[in-house]
Structure 1
Amino acid sequence: MIEDVRVDPEIFELRPDFAVLVMTAYGLRNGPADDRSRAWLEEASSHAVRQEKIDPWREAYRAFGAKPQRTRPSVDALTRRLPLPEINLVVDAYNSVSVKHVLPIGGEDLRHYQGAAHLMRAAGDEPSEEALGTPDAGEVIWRDDAGVTCRRWNWRQVVRTRITEETTDALFLLEGLEPLSLEELKEAGEELADLLIRITPDIRVETRLIVSGR
Protein backbone atom coordinates (compact mmCIF):
# COMPACT_ATOMS: atom_id res chain seq x y z
CA MET A 1 0.00 0.00 0.00
CA ILE A 2 2.73 2.45 0.99
CA GLU A 3 4.48 2.20 -2.38
CA ASP A 4 1.25 3.13 -4.19
CA VAL A 5 0.86 6.53 -2.49
CA ARG A 6 1.07 9.25 -5.18
CA VAL A 7 1.87 12.94 -5.24
CA ASP A 8 1.06 14.57 -8.60
CA PRO A 9 3.75 16.67 -10.33
CA GLU A 10 1.40 19.68 -10.12
CA ILE A 11 1.90 19.68 -6.35
CA PHE A 12 5.64 20.05 -6.73
CA GLU A 13 5.09 22.76 -9.32
CA LEU A 14 3.04 24.61 -6.72
CA ARG A 15 5.57 23.97 -3.92
CA PRO A 16 8.90 22.44 -5.04
CA ASP A 17 9.92 22.24 -1.37
CA PHE A 18 7.04 19.94 -0.44
CA ALA A 19 7.86 16.58 1.13
CA VAL A 20 5.67 13.95 2.73
CA LEU A 21 6.73 11.11 4.98
CA VAL A 22 4.23 8.31 4.52
CA MET A 23 3.91 5.91 7.45
CA THR A 24 1.74 2.85 7.95
CA ALA A 25 1.19 1.05 11.25
CA TYR A 26 -0.41 -2.39 11.37
CA GLY A 27 -1.83 -4.14 14.43
CA LEU A 28 -2.60 -1.11 16.59
CA ARG A 29 -4.56 -1.53 19.79
CA ASN A 30 -5.96 1.97 20.18
CA GLY A 31 -8.01 3.16 23.11
CA PRO A 32 -9.18 6.22 25.04
CA ALA A 33 -6.73 8.90 26.17
CA ASP A 34 -4.83 8.00 29.33
CA ASP A 35 -2.09 9.46 31.51
CA ARG A 36 0.56 8.64 28.88
CA SER A 37 -1.16 10.49 26.06
CA ARG A 38 -2.07 13.39 28.36
CA ALA A 39 1.63 13.76 29.15
CA TRP A 40 2.46 13.78 25.41
CA LEU A 41 -0.11 16.49 24.78
CA GLU A 42 1.03 18.54 27.77
CA GLU A 43 4.68 18.35 26.71
CA ALA A 44 3.83 19.36 23.12
CA SER A 45 1.65 22.23 24.33
CA SER A 46 4.63 23.65 26.26
CA HIS A 47 6.64 24.22 23.06
CA ALA A 48 6.76 27.73 21.65
CA VAL A 49 4.83 28.06 18.38
CA ARG A 50 7.33 28.65 15.59
CA GLN A 51 5.53 31.00 13.26
CA GLU A 52 8.19 30.67 10.55
CA LYS A 53 7.06 27.06 10.02
CA ILE A 54 3.36 27.93 9.80
CA ASP A 55 3.70 30.86 7.40
CA PRO A 56 4.80 28.68 4.43
CA TRP A 57 1.59 26.67 4.77
CA ARG A 58 -0.48 29.85 4.66
CA GLU A 59 1.42 30.86 1.52
CA ALA A 60 0.78 27.43 -0.02
CA TYR A 61 -2.95 27.79 0.68
CA ARG A 62 -3.05 31.20 -0.98
CA ALA A 63 -1.22 29.75 -3.99
CA PHE A 64 -4.17 27.47 -4.82
CA GLY A 65 -6.82 30.07 -3.99
CA ALA A 66 -7.70 29.23 -0.37
CA LYS A 67 -7.95 31.82 2.39
CA PRO A 68 -5.88 30.51 5.32
CA GLN A 69 -7.64 32.82 7.77
CA ARG A 70 -10.93 31.04 7.02
CA THR A 71 -9.76 27.48 6.39
CA ARG A 72 -6.55 27.10 8.34
CA PRO A 73 -3.79 24.57 7.70
CA SER A 74 -4.18 21.79 10.27
CA VAL A 75 -1.07 22.65 12.30
CA ASP A 76 -2.13 26.30 12.41
CA ALA A 77 -5.54 25.28 13.75
CA LEU A 78 -3.99 22.90 16.31
CA THR A 79 -1.61 25.49 17.73
CA ARG A 80 -4.60 27.76 18.33
CA ARG A 81 -6.25 25.09 20.50
CA LEU A 82 -3.55 24.84 23.16
CA PRO A 83 -3.65 23.06 25.51
CA LEU A 84 -4.30 20.24 23.07
CA PRO A 85 -7.60 18.35 23.47
CA GLU A 86 -7.69 14.63 24.25
CA ILE A 87 -9.12 12.43 21.46
CA ASN A 88 -7.75 8.89 21.71
CA LEU A 89 -4.29 7.35 22.14
CA VAL A 90 -3.27 7.30 18.48
CA VAL A 91 -4.70 10.72 17.60
CA ASP A 92 -3.12 12.20 20.73
CA ALA A 93 0.22 10.72 19.64
CA TYR A 94 0.23 12.29 16.19
CA ASN A 95 -1.27 15.59 17.35
CA SER A 96 1.51 15.93 19.92
CA VAL A 97 4.19 15.29 17.29
CA SER A 98 2.46 17.69 14.89
CA VAL A 99 2.56 20.55 17.37
CA LYS A 100 6.03 19.78 18.70
CA HIS A 101 7.56 19.86 15.22
CA VAL A 102 5.07 22.35 13.72
CA LEU A 103 4.07 20.23 10.74
CA PRO A 104 0.71 18.91 9.53
CA ILE A 105 0.05 15.21 10.17
CA GLY A 106 -2.94 13.36 8.80
CA GLY A 107 -4.13 10.05 10.24
CA GLU A 108 -6.32 7.63 8.28
CA ASP A 109 -8.01 4.34 9.17
CA LEU A 110 -6.87 1.92 6.48
CA ARG A 111 -9.91 -0.34 6.97
CA HIS A 112 -12.06 2.47 5.59
CA TYR A 113 -9.62 3.55 2.90
CA GLN A 114 -10.22 2.40 -0.67
CA GLY A 115 -7.13 2.12 -2.84
CA ALA A 116 -4.05 4.27 -2.35
CA ALA A 117 -3.68 7.83 -1.08
CA HIS A 118 -3.29 10.42 -3.82
CA LEU A 119 -2.35 14.10 -3.41
CA MET A 120 -3.56 16.15 -6.37
CA ARG A 121 -5.20 19.34 -7.56
CA ALA A 122 -8.93 18.81 -7.77
CA ALA A 123 -10.95 18.88 -10.98
CA GLY A 124 -13.87 20.16 -8.90
CA ASP A 125 -16.16 17.15 -9.34
CA GLU A 126 -14.60 14.68 -6.90
CA PRO A 127 -17.04 12.86 -4.56
CA SER A 128 -16.92 14.27 -1.05
CA GLU A 129 -18.91 14.12 2.16
CA GLU A 130 -21.74 16.61 2.27
CA ALA A 131 -20.39 18.38 5.35
CA LEU A 132 -17.12 19.17 3.56
CA GLY A 133 -18.66 20.16 0.25
CA THR A 134 -17.24 19.63 -3.23
CA PRO A 135 -13.65 20.82 -3.67
CA ASP A 136 -12.97 23.82 -5.86
CA ALA A 137 -11.19 23.30 -9.17
CA GLY A 138 -7.46 23.58 -8.54
CA GLU A 139 -7.77 22.98 -4.81
CA VAL A 140 -5.16 20.63 -3.34
CA ILE A 141 -6.79 17.48 -1.96
CA TRP A 142 -5.93 14.06 -0.66
CA ARG A 143 -8.21 11.37 -2.02
CA ASP A 144 -8.62 7.62 -2.44
CA ASP A 145 -10.63 5.61 -4.97
CA ALA A 146 -13.89 6.50 -3.21
CA GLY A 147 -13.38 10.26 -3.19
CA VAL A 148 -11.94 13.10 -1.15
CA THR A 149 -10.31 12.13 2.16
CA CYS A 150 -8.99 15.59 3.11
CA ARG A 151 -9.85 19.00 1.62
CA ARG A 152 -7.52 21.96 1.12
CA TRP A 153 -4.34 19.92 1.52
CA ASN A 154 -4.70 19.29 5.25
CA TRP A 155 -7.53 21.54 6.37
CA ARG A 156 -10.27 19.03 7.14
CA GLN A 157 -10.60 15.25 6.94
CA VAL A 158 -13.70 13.27 6.05
CA VAL A 159 -15.44 11.29 8.79
CA ARG A 160 -15.18 8.05 6.79
CA THR A 161 -11.43 7.58 7.31
CA ARG A 162 -10.90 9.11 10.75
CA ILE A 163 -8.91 7.15 13.32
CA THR A 164 -11.14 5.91 16.13
CA GLU A 165 -10.61 3.70 19.18
CA GLU A 166 -11.46 0.73 16.95
CA THR A 167 -8.70 1.48 14.40
CA THR A 168 -6.14 -1.31 14.01
CA ASP A 169 -4.31 -0.36 10.79
CA ALA A 170 -3.47 3.26 10.08
CA LEU A 171 -1.88 5.53 7.50
CA PHE A 172 -0.07 8.70 8.61
CA LEU A 173 0.94 11.56 6.31
CA LEU A 174 3.60 13.86 7.76
CA GLU A 175 3.86 16.90 5.50
CA GLY A 176 6.70 19.38 5.32
CA LEU A 177 7.56 22.69 3.68
CA GLU A 178 10.80 24.62 4.11
CA PRO A 179 12.23 25.74 6.50
CA LEU A 180 11.33 22.33 7.97
CA SER A 181 14.26 20.13 6.95
CA LEU A 182 14.04 16.55 5.71
CA GLU A 183 16.06 15.56 8.76
CA GLU A 184 13.43 17.03 11.10
CA LEU A 185 10.65 15.44 9.06
CA LYS A 186 12.31 12.05 9.51
CA GLU A 187 12.86 12.79 13.20
CA ALA A 188 9.16 13.55 13.62
CA GLY A 189 8.37 10.23 11.96
CA GLU A 190 10.69 8.38 14.33
CA GLU A 191 9.06 10.08 17.33
CA LEU A 192 5.59 9.16 16.10
CA ALA A 193 6.67 5.55 15.54
CA ASP A 194 8.09 5.46 19.07
CA LEU A 195 4.80 6.68 20.58
CA LEU A 196 2.80 4.17 18.55
CA ILE A 197 5.09 1.38 19.75
CA ARG A 198 4.47 2.49 23.33
CA ILE A 199 0.76 2.08 22.64
CA THR A 200 1.21 -1.29 20.91
CA PRO A 201 4.71 -2.81 21.25
CA ASP A 202 4.25 -5.44 18.52
CA ILE A 203 3.01 -3.21 15.67
CA ARG A 204 4.61 -3.27 12.22
CA VAL A 205 5.63 0.18 10.95
CA GLU A 206 6.64 1.05 7.37
CA THR A 207 7.79 4.44 6.08
CA ARG A 208 8.44 6.07 2.72
CA LEU A 209 9.65 9.60 1.96
CA ILE A 210 8.27 11.34 -1.14
CA VAL A 211 10.04 14.47 -2.37
CA SER A 212 10.29 16.33 -5.67
CA GLY A 213 12.17 14.40 -8.32
CA ARG A 214 11.77 10.95 -6.82
Structure 2
Amino acid sequence: MNITIEQDFWALFPEAQISLLIVKGLDNRVDESKDPYFKDLLAKGAKRAQDFISEEPFTQNQVIQEWRQAFAKFKTKKGARSSIEALLKRVSQEREFHPINPLVDIYNSVSLSYAVPCGGEDLAKIQAGLYLGKAQGGEPFFPLGADSDAPALPEEIIYYDEAGAVCRCLNWREAQRTMLTEETKEAVLVIEAINEEQGQRAQAAMLEMQDLLQAYFGLTGEITHLTKENPSLEL
Protein backbone atom coordinates (compact mmCIF):
# COMPACT_ATOMS: atom_id res chain seq x y z
CA MET A 1 0.00 0.00 0.00
CA ASN A 2 1.13 3.52 -0.80
CA ILE A 3 0.10 6.86 0.69
CA THR A 4 0.45 9.45 -2.07
CA ILE A 5 -0.05 13.20 -2.24
CA GLU A 6 -0.94 14.05 -5.82
CA GLN A 7 0.45 16.79 -8.05
CA ASP A 8 -2.79 18.78 -8.14
CA PHE A 9 -2.50 19.25 -4.37
CA TRP A 10 1.10 20.50 -4.64
CA ALA A 11 0.05 22.88 -7.43
CA LEU A 12 -2.22 24.61 -4.89
CA PHE A 13 0.07 24.28 -1.87
CA PRO A 14 3.72 24.00 -2.98
CA GLU A 15 5.06 24.69 0.52
CA ALA A 16 2.80 22.16 2.21
CA GLN A 17 3.89 19.27 4.38
CA ILE A 18 1.72 16.26 5.15
CA SER A 19 3.13 14.49 8.18
CA LEU A 20 2.30 10.83 8.75
CA LEU A 21 2.72 8.60 11.76
CA ILE A 22 2.17 4.89 11.08
CA VAL A 23 1.52 2.82 14.19
CA LYS A 24 0.67 -0.89 14.40
CA GLY A 25 -0.13 -3.38 17.14
CA LEU A 26 -2.61 -1.10 18.90
CA ASP A 27 -5.19 -1.88 21.55
CA ASN A 28 -7.48 1.13 21.17
CA ARG A 29 -10.28 -0.15 23.39
CA VAL A 30 -11.82 2.40 25.74
CA ASP A 31 -11.02 1.89 29.42
CA GLU A 32 -13.26 4.23 31.41
CA SER A 33 -10.84 4.15 34.33
CA LYS A 34 -8.48 6.12 32.05
CA ASP A 35 -11.05 8.88 31.40
CA PRO A 36 -9.47 11.25 33.96
CA TYR A 37 -6.11 10.88 32.16
CA PHE A 38 -7.59 11.78 28.79
CA LYS A 39 -9.77 14.58 30.17
CA ASP A 40 -6.63 16.10 31.70
CA LEU A 41 -4.69 15.62 28.45
CA LEU A 42 -7.41 17.38 26.45
CA ALA A 43 -7.71 20.16 29.04
CA LYS A 44 -3.97 20.80 28.87
CA GLY A 45 -4.19 20.90 25.07
CA ALA A 46 -7.03 23.41 25.27
CA LYS A 47 -5.00 25.61 27.60
CA ARG A 48 -2.02 25.58 25.23
CA ALA A 49 -4.36 26.35 22.33
CA GLN A 50 -5.24 29.70 23.91
CA ASP A 51 -1.86 31.02 22.74
CA PHE A 52 -3.12 30.80 19.15
CA ILE A 53 -6.42 32.62 19.64
CA SER A 54 -5.50 35.84 21.43
CA GLU A 55 -7.05 38.14 18.79
CA GLU A 56 -10.62 39.39 18.72
CA PRO A 57 -12.73 38.69 16.81
CA PHE A 58 -11.87 34.98 16.66
CA THR A 59 -11.64 34.92 12.86
CA GLN A 60 -8.75 37.40 12.87
CA ASN A 61 -6.33 34.98 14.48
CA GLN A 62 -3.50 33.97 12.16
CA VAL A 63 -4.21 30.23 12.26
CA ILE A 64 -7.85 30.79 11.33
CA GLN A 65 -6.97 33.22 8.54
CA GLU A 66 -4.35 30.92 7.01
CA TRP A 67 -6.72 27.96 6.82
CA ARG A 68 -9.65 30.01 5.54
CA GLN A 69 -7.43 31.34 2.77
CA ALA A 70 -6.32 27.79 2.02
CA PHE A 71 -9.91 26.54 1.76
CA ALA A 72 -10.70 29.41 -0.62
CA LYS A 73 -8.29 27.86 -3.16
CA PHE A 74 -10.45 24.82 -3.91
CA LYS A 75 -14.08 23.78 -4.17
CA THR A 76 -15.67 23.20 -0.76
CA LYS A 77 -19.06 22.39 0.65
CA LYS A 78 -20.63 25.59 1.96
CA GLY A 79 -19.51 26.24 5.52
CA ALA A 80 -16.61 23.78 5.47
CA ARG A 81 -13.77 24.84 7.76
CA SER A 82 -10.46 23.30 8.74
CA SER A 83 -10.69 20.86 11.64
CA ILE A 84 -8.35 23.05 13.68
CA GLU A 85 -10.76 25.97 13.40
CA ALA A 86 -13.52 23.81 14.86
CA LEU A 87 -11.33 22.79 17.81
CA LEU A 88 -10.07 26.31 18.47
CA LYS A 89 -13.64 27.64 18.29
CA ARG A 90 -14.59 25.28 21.09
CA VAL A 91 -11.67 26.56 23.15
CA SER A 92 -12.72 30.17 22.53
CA GLN A 93 -16.22 29.27 23.75
CA GLU A 94 -14.74 27.60 26.86
CA ARG A 95 -16.40 24.31 25.96
CA GLU A 96 -15.10 21.14 27.61
CA PHE A 97 -13.58 18.27 25.64
CA HIS A 98 -14.66 14.72 26.45
CA PRO A 99 -12.77 11.46 25.71
CA ILE A 100 -13.74 9.53 22.56
CA ASN A 101 -11.16 6.77 22.24
CA PRO A 102 -7.43 6.76 23.06
CA LEU A 103 -6.07 7.45 19.56
CA VAL A 104 -8.56 10.22 18.84
CA ASP A 105 -8.00 11.80 22.26
CA ILE A 106 -4.24 11.79 21.74
CA TYR A 107 -4.37 13.40 18.30
CA ASN A 108 -6.97 15.95 19.42
CA SER A 109 -4.77 16.98 22.35
CA VAL A 110 -1.80 17.40 20.00
CA SER A 111 -3.91 19.27 17.46
CA LEU A 112 -4.96 21.74 20.17
CA SER A 113 -1.48 22.10 21.62
CA TYR A 114 0.16 23.05 18.30
CA ALA A 115 -2.85 24.50 16.40
CA VAL A 116 -2.41 22.08 13.51
CA PRO A 117 -5.12 19.96 11.82
CA CYS A 118 -4.81 16.31 12.87
CA GLY A 119 -6.69 13.22 11.79
CA GLY A 120 -6.41 9.48 11.64
CA GLU A 121 -7.57 6.49 9.63
CA ASP A 122 -7.77 2.76 10.24
CA LEU A 123 -5.20 1.34 7.82
CA ALA A 124 -6.95 -2.03 7.65
CA LYS A 125 -10.01 -0.33 6.14
CA ILE A 126 -8.12 1.57 3.41
CA GLN A 127 -8.56 -0.11 0.02
CA ALA A 128 -5.59 -0.21 -2.38
CA GLY A 129 -3.78 2.89 -1.17
CA LEU A 130 -4.58 6.32 0.29
CA TYR A 131 -4.40 9.49 -1.83
CA LEU A 132 -4.77 13.23 -1.26
CA GLY A 133 -5.75 15.30 -4.27
CA LYS A 134 -8.60 16.84 -6.25
CA ALA A 135 -11.85 14.91 -6.45
CA GLN A 136 -13.35 14.04 -9.79
CA GLY A 137 -16.72 14.52 -8.13
CA GLY A 138 -19.21 11.92 -6.98
CA GLU A 139 -16.81 9.86 -4.88
CA PRO A 140 -18.99 8.02 -2.31
CA PHE A 141 -18.78 9.42 1.21
CA PHE A 142 -20.80 8.56 4.28
CA PRO A 143 -19.92 11.09 7.00
CA LEU A 144 -19.59 10.18 10.62
CA GLY A 145 -23.07 10.10 12.12
CA ALA A 146 -24.91 10.11 8.76
CA ASP A 147 -27.02 7.44 7.11
CA SER A 148 -26.93 8.74 3.53
CA ASP A 149 -24.26 9.39 0.92
CA ALA A 150 -22.73 12.89 0.70
CA PRO A 151 -20.46 12.54 -2.35
CA ALA A 152 -17.43 14.73 -2.98
CA LEU A 153 -17.65 17.78 -5.22
CA PRO A 154 -15.58 18.14 -8.41
CA GLU A 155 -12.13 19.62 -7.61
CA GLU A 156 -12.67 19.39 -3.86
CA ILE A 157 -9.45 18.41 -2.06
CA ILE A 158 -10.08 14.99 -0.52
CA TYR A 159 -8.35 11.96 0.91
CA TYR A 160 -9.60 8.94 -0.99
CA ASP A 161 -9.02 5.29 -1.77
CA GLU A 162 -10.39 2.78 -4.26
CA ALA A 163 -13.78 2.70 -2.51
CA GLY A 164 -14.40 6.45 -2.33
CA ALA A 165 -13.68 9.53 -0.25
CA VAL A 166 -12.04 9.06 3.15
CA CYS A 167 -11.96 12.71 4.31
CA ARG A 168 -13.52 15.67 2.53
CA CYS A 169 -12.06 19.20 2.31
CA LEU A 170 -8.70 18.03 3.62
CA ASN A 171 -9.43 16.93 7.20
CA TRP A 172 -12.80 18.70 7.56
CA ARG A 173 -15.15 15.72 7.63
CA GLU A 174 -14.45 12.04 8.36
CA ALA A 175 -15.96 8.97 6.72
CA GLN A 176 -17.51 6.30 8.92
CA ARG A 177 -15.88 3.59 6.81
CA THR A 178 -12.26 4.29 7.77
CA MET A 179 -12.54 6.14 11.07
CA LEU A 180 -10.56 5.11 14.14
CA THR A 181 -12.57 2.86 16.44
CA GLU A 182 -11.97 0.66 19.47
CA GLU A 183 -11.26 -2.19 17.03
CA THR A 184 -8.45 -0.32 15.24
CA LYS A 185 -5.17 -2.25 15.35
CA GLU A 186 -3.13 -0.23 12.85
CA ALA A 187 -3.51 3.44 12.00
CA VAL A 188 -2.13 6.35 10.07
CA LEU A 189 -2.19 9.63 11.97
CA VAL A 190 -1.95 12.74 9.81
CA ILE A 191 -0.97 16.36 10.48
CA GLU A 192 -1.45 18.97 7.75
CA ALA A 193 0.66 22.10 7.22
CA ILE A 194 0.53 24.55 4.31
CA ASN A 195 3.53 26.77 4.99
CA GLU A 196 6.97 26.56 6.59
CA GLU A 197 5.95 27.90 10.00
CA GLN A 198 3.06 25.44 10.24
CA GLY A 199 5.42 22.70 9.07
CA GLN A 200 7.76 23.37 11.99
CA ARG A 201 4.86 23.14 14.43
CA ALA A 202 3.69 19.94 12.74
CA GLN A 203 7.10 18.33 13.17
CA ALA A 204 7.17 19.20 16.87
CA ALA A 205 3.59 17.95 17.20
CA MET A 206 4.48 14.60 15.66
CA LEU A 207 7.30 14.09 18.16
CA GLU A 208 4.89 14.81 21.01
CA MET A 209 2.41 12.39 19.45
CA GLN A 210 5.08 9.70 19.50
CA ASP A 211 5.77 10.40 23.18
CA LEU A 212 2.06 10.12 24.01
CA LEU A 213 1.70 6.89 22.07
CA GLN A 214 4.70 5.45 23.89
CA ALA A 215 3.32 6.51 27.27
CA TYR A 216 -0.13 4.99 26.71
CA PHE A 217 0.30 2.14 24.22
CA GLY A 218 3.99 1.34 24.61
CA LEU A 219 4.35 2.04 20.86
CA THR A 220 5.86 4.98 19.01
CA GLY A 221 5.29 4.29 15.32
CA GLU A 222 7.23 5.76 12.41
CA ILE A 223 7.07 9.38 11.22
CA THR A 224 7.33 10.50 7.61
CA HIS A 225 6.96 14.06 6.31
CA LEU A 226 5.65 14.17 2.75
CA THR A 227 6.54 17.20 0.63
CA LYS A 228 6.44 18.20 -3.02
CA GLU A 229 9.89 16.61 -3.42
CA ASN A 230 8.93 13.47 -1.48
CA PRO A 231 5.21 12.95 -2.17
CA SER A 232 4.68 9.25 -1.43
CA LEU A 233 5.20 6.64 1.28
CA GLU A 234 5.24 2.91 0.61
CA LEU A 235 4.05 0.83 3.57
Do they superpose with TM above 0.5? yes
1:61 and 2:71 matched: yes
Q: Indicate the residue corresponding to 1:30 in structure 2.
A: 28
Give per-residue Cα distances to partners, 1:76-115, cap 9 Å, x unaligned: 1112223323211111100000011111111111122212
Residues 1:205 and 2:221 aligned together: yes
CA contact (8 A) 1:52 1:179 kept: no
Give the CA RMSD over aligned residues: 1.8
Q: Which moved more, 1:174-183 or 1:152-161?
A: 174-183
Q: Which residue in 2 is equivalent to 1:84? A: 97
Alignment match of 1:102 (pick from 82, 98, 115): 115
Identity, % of aligned positions: 30
Residue segments in structure 2 that go unaligned for 5+ positions in a row: 53-60, 231-235
- Superposition map of 1:11-160 within 5 A: 11-32=9-30, 34-47=35-48, 48=50, 50=52, 51-66=61-76, 70-82=79-91, 83-129=96-142, 131=148, 133-160=150-177
TM-score, L = length of structure 1: 0.90
Quote the Cα distance in structure 2 between the aligned partners of 1:28 and 1:176: 26
Select the residue among 193, 201, 214 that pairs with 1:184: 201
What is the CA–CA distance in structure 2 between the aligned matches of 1:132 and 1:175, rounded to whole Å?
26
Paired with 2:181 and 2:89, the residues of 1 have a C-alpha distance of 23
For the residues of structure 2 that align with 1:167 and 1:149, how far apart are their CA atoms? 16
Asked whether the 8 Å contact 2:75–2:157 carries over to 1, the reply is no
User: Larger radius of gyration, structure 1 or 2?
Assistant: 2
- Give 2:69's aligned amino acid: E
| Equivalent residues, number | 210
Query: Structure 2 CA distance, aligned partners of 1:204 and 1:115?
Result: 25
Question: What SS is found at the alignment partner of 2:136?
Answer: coil
